[in-house]
Structure 1
């Protein structure tokens, strides 16, 4: 898929470096819950750590753990304590 950006986007993205389009697209899909963290990192062309670092740099938050996952882990620990 070939994407043609409006000039306004190019002006904003250009100072953010090479592959900024891929990063922000991947980050948007990840934050919307449409793709996994690993898939987003791959789309952005970054390692797991580099993608997480850029998320923190631009969004003040990196890898996100869903509340449901935390609740399930707490329930598992509670079950193991019995």
Structure 2
């Protein structure tokens, strides 16, 4: 799926780096507890540490622990 957005977002997203729209969509879904950290990192096209770093840069914290995502995240970390 190719993400399309209104052209007015271009000026806002461009300085935020490569695949900024995908990152912010994945981060929003993660913060809304709709997807796990591991899934959000994957959707953003980043590895675990890269996604955590980018979350910290943009939101002041790298991750939060939600009951629904703990098992999936634990399994993902175990695979590293």
TM-score (norm 2): 0.77
Q: Could you tell me which runs of 5 or more consecutive residues in structure 2 were left unpaired when the two chains were aligned.
A: 69-80
Which gives a bigger RCO, structure 1 or 2 (Cα 8 Å, sep 6+)?
A: 2
Note the alpha carbon deviations across 1:40-61, whole angstroms, 9 max, x for none: 0000010100000000000001
Give the root-mean-square deviation of aligned CA atoms. Answer: 1.6
Q: Aligned equivalents of 2:52 and 2:38: distance in 1? A: 10
Structure 1 runs of 4+ with >4 Å offset: none
- How many residues are treated as equivalent by the alignment? 68
TM-score in terms of structure 1 length? 0.75
Secondary structure of 1:63's counterpart equals: coil
Larger Rg: 1
Q: Which residue is equivalent to 1:14?
A: 14
